[in-house]
Each structure stands twice: as C-alpha cells, then as structure tokens.
Amino acid sequence: MLYTCTSRRAALYTSTFFVTAMFIAPPALARETLYSQIESAAARVEPAVIGWRRDIHQYPELANRETRTAALVAEHLRTLGLEVTTGIARTGVVAVLEGAKPGPAVALRADMDALPVAERTGLPFASKVRSEYEGQDVPVMHACGHDAHVAILLGAASVLASLRQEIAGTVKFIFQPAEEGAPRGEEGGAALMIREGVLRDPDVEAIFGLHVGQQGPAGTATWRERGTMASAQRFDITITGKQTHGARPWEGVDPIVVGAQIVTALQSIVSRSVDITSAPAVVSVGTFNSGVRNNIISDEAVLSGTIRTFDPEVQGRVHHRMRAIVSGIAGSMGAEAKLEIERGVPVTWNDVDLVQRMLPTLKRVYGPSRIFPAPMTTGAEDFAHYQQEIPGFFFFIGARPAAVPPEAAVPNHSPFFDIDEAALRPAVIAMSQLAVDYLTGGD
C-alpha cells in the first residue's frame, strides 16, 4: 500500500551524494524514488484537495455554466506556473505541464458540471444553489461526484508540477464542462473540446480519467477492458392530439392517453425484442409533460428519455422498434407523433493494450487485493469521445463512507450521494503515477 510519507529533505534529495546517486541509479530505483516523491507531495496537498472539493460541492454549476468552478481551477493552475487556456468548449480549462525532459504527451481529465438535484445529504457544505435548467428554476447539486474529480485533478496537477524536473514529456490537464450533457440547443462536453483542439498542440498519445462512487470503500478501485460503460442517447417524443374540454373527451384526441400507451409499450422492447444474454440494453422514459389545467385536455404531450446499449446491432434494433411503436400507437389513436433520437455518447471503450500496460500502476497504488475487475455498467460517460480519437483508460474508485454498509450504498445522481474524502489522496496518487509511468514507459 502507498501513503507513506518521506521528509521534505529526503523527497528533494538535497544531499549532493543522493543527487549524484540519482543520476547513476538504474531505472527501477529512479522510479522508486519518484513514487516516494509523488506520495509525499500528495500527502502535502491533501488538505487543499479536500478544501477544493468542499468549496466546489457547496457552489455547484450546471453544464456549460461552470464559470465559478473554471475560474477557481484556472487560478490555481496559474499559481503552479502552468500554461493555462480557458474558454474551451465554453467554460473548459486546459493546462499544460512541460517536463524538463523530452518525451510524449499524455492527458488527465476531470469533469466539472453538476446536476439539477435537490441535495439532502445534510452536509455542512451542502449546496443551496438554484439555477435555470431548460426553462425551469431548479436546485443544483454535485450528485455525481464531479466536485471530487476536479479536486483530484487539481491535486495531481500540484503534485506533478512540483516534480517538473523529473518528468519526461508533457502532461495536459483537461477540466471539462457538460459531461452530463449540454442544455437543449447547445453544444458542449468532450466532443466540443475535441473539435476545439484539446488533444492537439502537442498531440496527446493517451488519456486517463476516473469516476468516484459508492461501489466500494475508500482505498479501492475497479477497472474493465473493452466495453465499460454504455452508449447513451437521448430521445424525445412529441405527440400532437386535439384539444378539448375535459368533460367532453370524445370531441378531441388526448395526447396523454396516447403517451401513456407509448410509455407502456416501450417497456416491451428490452423484455421482448432484445437478446439480453448477448448485450444489455435499457429504454427509460424520464419526463412526461402535457397540459396546463385539470379540466382541459391538451393538444400536445412531450416525452423524453434515454437509451443505453453496448452493441451497435442492438442499438439499431431498439431504434427500429421505438419508431414502430411510436408511429403505430399514435396513428391507431388518431394522433400524430414525432420521435427524435440524438447521436449521443458512444460506448466507453478501454483500450486493451493501454489497460494491460497501466494496470500495474493501479495495483501499486491501491494494492493487489484492493483493485477488482468491474462489471459493465449502463451508466454512460462522454469520456468515450476521447477514446474514439486516442487510447484511453477510464476506471472507478471506491468512495463509500465508512458508516454506509455495502447493501445501503447510495447511487450517483441521488440527492443523498456523498463520498468518503479518504478516497481523494490515493486518487491523486493514481492519476499522478499513471501520467509518470506512461511517460517513462515504466510499470
């Protein structure tokens, strides 16, 4: 296990003897020295990491509105002497650390946005923020742990900046907006950052990202090769009926009744039209809006939801059945319906060679008995867009509070979601060592 701390004197090798020995030491010994320096630097920055996490948690911001978070991030990165660029993909921040030695470029990524969720954790730094989301006034909460992601990457930037003289190559720190999806009518997230050149100048060879959750206690991690998280697509259904008085429904076409039939029929796609033994799939309706008064049958209903798949063929089958159900039910009941399916997020695909190369790093950080293979998850991550451009490795870190038993683990996106902050320091070490080990070719 890690977390041992060497003294500042030892970490910096002020003795001429040790400085000389470092230059003549074999690569394995040099890496051991660097590991110790990373551990010590992570221990020093841990209080700041916890402070950043709490500050960002208390003042969350929705997708493409992360202005305060971005300003906090950029300010600290500049104090580290990094080359900082802001305003990428609206509110994104990118910092570049040039090592003192030549080498390739690697990227570390964190997402910054929060969710329209009313926090119910009872934390002293719980969010009381409200904002506008798609025309509605909503509460805002870091219910998915992105506050921790930002703090972890700020910690890794601090650690690696303190070791600039030992780094062979370049590290890009990517602080990304809108991972949860940009508001309707806007672009954002990883896809927009890529189009605006975040992986170029210098060209990045590989990228690493992580996600906190209560799937395990602090000090554990999980990983998976190949398909890790599902493809996610938003769908919207607009049903047009005929408005009438609620007391005379036969004189109109009720879009709510039509929508209710559609919602029920959509549930049959996965249960009756998909071979779930070959690849999982999900079709869920998340919103259903219609009407303004109890005794008026509206002329329109609008539904939205999400599709999750791991296989392109299954995805195509789901789309086909959805179109048939929506048009068929609406037509049979005298209504019209339009189904729109967004391109969405691809499968989070962990490059096999990169995983095998870097897995020893995670095992070193967490210990071989505290890192586990992860099952596929129908959650989605727009980190997948980076992985379509370059090899990427996305893994998960346990952060379940010690007082929460495994059977009571709180899922991400819950108003009760919280983390054990003891998970932060090992995550800082992991991100730092992944970058260093990739650049040096070590394990």
Q: 39, 61, 66, 113: which is the annotated catalytic residue?
A: 113
Does residue 213 sit in helix, strand or coil?
strand
The answer to whether 261 and 411 are in contact (CB under 8 A) is: no
359 backbone dihedrals φ, ψ, rounded to 5°: -60, -40
Does residue 9 sit in helix, strand or coil?
helix
Provide DSSP, 36-104. Answer: HHHHHHHHHHHHHHHHHHHHHHHS---TT--HHHHHHHHHHHHHTT-EEEEEETTTEEEEEEE-SEEEE
Does residue 172 sit in helix, strand or coil?
strand
With left for phi above 0 and alpha for psi between -120 and 50, is residue 251 left, alpha or beta?
Answer: alpha
Q: Per 3-state DSSP, what percentage of the chain is helix, strand, and coil (rounded to 5)?
A: 40, 25, 35
Q: 119, 179, 311, 351: which is the annotated catalytic residue?
A: 179
Q: In the annotation, is 179 catalytic?
A: yes
The answer to whether 116 and 110 are in contact (CB under 8 A) is: no
Query: Strand 244-245 vs strand 130-133: parallel, antiparallel, or unpaired?
Result: unpaired
Q: Which residues are catalytic?
A: 113, 179
